[in-house]
Chain A
């Protein structure tokens, strides 16, 4: 006769409610792990999308993501001619806030040269940019659809393509436009300011400025050797793709990553304490029954089995509900939530371990119960 099963069946509503509460808690833990993974993945997305090997930026900076980097647009030609470089492209990055359908729309704009490295790697719907001006490819999380028209600066852009999972490290959806358009948007002065500059005699200024040059190297060529060659120019800094990713994870999102990591750890501890309290309370509520069972001759393993099986059932069902819940709603989070099976498995193992340890408290209490307490009213 399985006492744990009988108890659960008899108090099914109460047990289910406890499992539901626990599932919400474990769901939050799982979502925090997913948010942590999403944050790191989002931070790396922009750097990984161009599929390049070397990043060349302004000297003395760790740009273009960690620090501002500005350099003349013709640097690309110099980099493209370095030995071992198979292709190079100029890119710009900037955040912008505009209005769309009466609402605020924050975007992260990447300017690139179509046909050269730096553009989107995969278009989910629509097409690539085919015209020199005023076309854009947008991430779906922006809420934009094909053929939507969006005002950026003084010009109106048409959405011709859509991408998935392209957001900045801050979570803003990314859009791609041509380098020329992005340079105008970023560096061209507004007419009154331009007129003032002309009156001062300095002219309106040129807009052929970029934030970085990205380069692919030929097969069998070391990216580090190309970066080393670029660094010989005193006005440039260069780093490999691995170096750029390290800057992103250890610098750009480092504090956010640690914050979420710490919070996830705290949540795990809180969950462990709550599970322990639930199991301890469940045992406390059965003191008289356990004393009676011991008095009528039930062996210790029957009592231990009752507590342990209930604790594991609660942990397993709670985790299952929690995982199901988060898997169902994760796409509705404002930022990307990435659930790796190995993270889920690790949390499941942690929950089982916590349940076993927490049942230890209950078991200790149960084994200490004097059967005599069943007598004497």
Chain B
């Protein structure tokens, strides 16, 4: 494990609260949450349903604005009043990679194009995008499935292609939402090993929301959320 607490955190959440609705219908999804994730760390976010895990992921992923508190991603303070919707979109594109529970690959694009589209959106040319996509698919050991459409991929293969997509723009922050929930123990272990490899080799910060008991021992740090509050950290 390569935990470098001396370096600047890639994700810094300080005193973040998020509530929905007002008055009697008000729901406090997050209450005064603070956490940091450093380069090379694979961090787990655990908690029962409705505890605020996905809301916290949405806030860190620049999808939902916090009601209060400060968020810093790779040194940029987000939601300080100067960020437009298009700036947040660009930030997501360039600095954050997303991994989903059900891979969320675009069904009408083959594996290569599913990865290349992220590079395309960031402005890379078609040939460069394809070359980088194939390189990533080979790195994740699914190079032989580069021309296959998502419907023809197994769960493990699809999740690896999804990880390749998340890594395409060399993001330093990777947010994973239940990345192993749809996989069996063996494939879940392979995916976690891959994430570990990415974190170490690319000095990325990985924050994964999970319910999956079989992978809790694979995290460097684990945060527990309950009723929107962060419980004391266990290592």
Contact = CB atoms under 8 A, between A and B. Distances in A.
Contacts of B102: 377
A11 interface: yes
Interface stretch (A90-98, A207-215, A290-298, A328-336): A290-298
Given A295-B63, A298-B121, A374-B100, 17 more contacts: A3-B108, A6-B113, A9-B108, A11-B108, A288-B104, A289-B104, A289-B107, A292-B106, A294-B89, A296-B165, A370-B63, A371-B63, A372-B63, A374-B104, A375-B57, A377-B177, A377-B178
A310 B58 CA distance: 31
Contact of A296 (B107, B118, B149): B118
B54 A376 contact: yes
A9 B121 CA distance: 21
Contact of A10 (B61, B98, B121, B149): B149
A143 interface: no
A81 to B, nearest CB: 82
Nearest to A377: B101
10 contacts: A1-B117, A7-B108, A11-B108, A297-B93, A297-B94, A370-B63, A372-B64, A375-B54, A375-B98, A377-B177
Nearest to B130: A1
Contacts of B35: none
Contacts of B106: 3, 289, 292-293
Contacts of A289: 104, 106-107
Label chain A's interface by main secondary structure. Answer: helix
Contacts of B109: 1, 3, 6, 10
Given A10-B149, A374-B100, A377-B181, A297 B92 contact: yes
Interface of A: 1, 3, 6-7, 9-11, 288-289, 292-299, 302, 370-372, 374-377
Contacts of A9: 108
Given A10-B108, A295-B63, A297-B90, A1 B116 contact: yes
Contacts of B64: 372
Contacts of A376: 54, 101, 177
Contacts of A10: 107-109, 149
Contacts of A298: 89, 117, 121
A317 B177 CA distance: 41
Nearest to A294: B89
B120 interface: yes
Contacts of B89: 294, 297-299
B228 to A, nearest CB: 16
Interface of B: 54, 57-58, 61, 63-64, 86, 89-90, 92-94, 98, 100-102, 104, 106-109, 113, 116-118, 120-122, 126, 129, 149, 165, 177-178, 181
Contacts of A294: 89
A10 B122 CA distance: 24
Nearest to A371: B63
Contacts of B54: 372, 375-376
A294 B58 CA distance: 13
B100 A292 contact: yes
Contacts of B113: 1, 6
A26 B12 CA distance: 58
A11 B178 CA distance: 30
Given A10-B149, A289-B107, A374-B104, A297 B118 contact: yes
B121 A295 contact: no
Given A1-B113, A6-B108, A375-B177, A296 B93 contact: yes
A296 B98 contact: yes
A199 B19 CA distance: 109
Nearest to A373: B63
A371 B58 CA distance: 9
Contact of B86 (A3, A295, A299): A299
A343 to B, nearest CB: 36
Contacts of B118: 296-297
Nearest to B126: A1
Q: Which of A7, A288, A294, A377 has its CB near the most chain B CB atoms (within 10 A)?
A: A377
Nearest to B166: A296
A295 B61 contact: yes
A166 to B, nearest CB: 55
Nearest to B88: A297
Nearest to A11: B108
Nearest to A6: B108
A288 B107 CA distance: 10
A92 B86 CA distance: 79
